[in-house]
């Protein structure tokens, strides 16, 4: 199976700092059996949010990182050869439906088109998953929830979610956390004292301003955490900033120089 699927039922609730009413909205969506779409740039906390909510609600989480070879069968399951026999093996979506779990499809627009065909009957009031190959029609239990994410920033026109699909989901717009919250998050994740995270967050803000001009994507919260982690481990801030907040953003020498100048001025 090519999908990266992880079934987890961790007792501990992963740390997540809310920046609005997203936890309440997720909970309402879960209670009312409504599917949820998370929109936002990479590394802004979507996956952590879903892991946090799944643990809070006590449901197992099945996460699938979608890619352009991902087919419906990767999600639903397939017959596999096992010691001379062919045995049906559930995919992560089927496991989530059978077990009343939360299925999170990260970057769903990357997947092949046939994936939307299996999602549609699960995302309206039928809440069913037909398994053509086994002849089963699975009815999702109340605890099943479908969550998908996509990054509107770098989707080309062809890859955007079709209105017929997106209008089946409640949607939450995820941006980078506001600076105060982001400094708290970076400190909690990296162990670097908060007052030393504040300038890094300010620099991230300045670099994010350049998005669209010279950069496709701004610095993610994830990269900020990496940077602070290196500094907390004793690395010189200039070196850590270059490795975590400049080099990952560009391959262009001129743009790199410009980013390093922004870092010098901002810090």
Residue in the block written with tokens 């919250």? 181
Q: Give the number of other Cβ atoms within 10 Å of residue 147's Cβ.
A: 27
Q: Is 155 helix (H, G, I), strand (E, B) or coil?
A: coil
- CB of residue 164 to ligand ADP, shortest distance in Å: 25
By beta carbon distance, the residue nearest ligand ADP is: 45
* Residue 48 structure tokens: 């952590």
Closest CB to ligand ADP among 40 and 77? Answer: 40
Decide whether 50 or 73 has the Cβ nearer to ligand ADP: 50
Measured from the CB of residue 144, what is the shortest distance to ligand ADP in angstroms?
21
| Secondary structure letter of residue 227 according to DSSP | H
**Bridge pairing between strands 128-131 and 136-139:** antiparallel
Nearer to ligand ADP, 8 or 89 (CB): 8
* Rounded least distance, CB 155 to ligand ADP, Å: 15
* Closer Cβ to ligand ADP, 40 or 92, answer by number: 40
Q: Which residues lie across from 95 on neighbouring strands?
A: none
Here the tokens at position 177 are: 């956390």
- If the CB atoms of residues 20 and 130 are measured against ligand ADP, the closer one turns out to be 20
Q: How far apart are CA 196 and CA 151, in angstroms?
A: 30
* Alpha-helical runs (H) found in 104-176: 114-119, 163-166
At its nearest, how many Å lie between ligand ADP and the CB of residue 17? Answer: 4
* Closest distance of CB 224 from ligand ADP, Å: 8
Q: How far is the CB of 162 from ligand ADP (least distance, A)?
A: 22
- Report CA torsion sign: 8, 10, 13, 15: negative
- In the bound state with ligand ADP, the residue whose beta carbon lies nearer, of 43 and 77, is 43
List 81's β-bridge partners, or say none. 86
Write out the residues near ligand ADP by the rule CB under 6 A: 15-17, 40, 42-48, 177, 185, 189, 221-222, 225
> Which of 90, 182 has the CB closer to ligand ADP?
182
Instruction: Give yes or no for a contact between 216 and 154, defined as CB atoms under 8 angstroms apart.
Output: yes
Residue from 173, 184, 255, 195 nearest 225 by CA: 184
Burial class (CB within 10 angstroms; exposed 0-12, middle 13-18, buried 19+) of 14: middle
Quote the least distance from Cβ 264 to ligand ADP, whole Å.
25
């Amino acid at each position: 199976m090519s999908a990266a699927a992880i079934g987890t039922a961790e007792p501990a609730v992963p740390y997540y700092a809310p920046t609005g009413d997203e936890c309440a909205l997720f909970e309402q969506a879960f209670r009312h059996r409504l599917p949820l779409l998370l929109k936002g740039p990479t590394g802004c906390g979507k996956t952590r949010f879903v892991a946090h909510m799944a643990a809070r609600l006590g449901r197992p989480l099945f996460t699938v990182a979608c890619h352009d070879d991902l087919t419906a069968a990767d999600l639903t399951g397939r017959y596999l050869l096992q010691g001379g026999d062919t045995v049906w093996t559930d995919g992560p979506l089927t496991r989530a439906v059978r077990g009343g779990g939360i299925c999170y499809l990260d970057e769903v627009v990357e997947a092949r088109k046939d994936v939307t065909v299996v999602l549609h009957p699960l995302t309206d009031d039928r809440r069913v998953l037909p398994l053509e190959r086994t002849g089963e029609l699975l009815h999702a239990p109340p605890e099943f929830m479908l969550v998908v994410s996509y990054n509107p920033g770098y989707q080309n026109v062809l890859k955007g979610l079709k209105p017929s699909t997106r209008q089946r989901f409640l949607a939450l717009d995820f941006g980078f956390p506001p600076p105060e919250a982001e400094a708290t998050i970076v400190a909690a994740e990296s162990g670097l004292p908060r007052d030393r995270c504040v300038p890094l967050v300010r620099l991230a803000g300045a670099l994010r301003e350049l998005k669209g001009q010279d950069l496709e994507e701004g610095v993610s919260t994830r990269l900020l955490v990496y940077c602070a982690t290196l500094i907390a481990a004793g690395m010189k801030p200039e070196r850590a900033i270059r490795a975590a907040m400049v080099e990952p953003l560009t391959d262009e020498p001129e743009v790199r120089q410009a980013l390093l100048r922004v870092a010098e001025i901002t810090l």
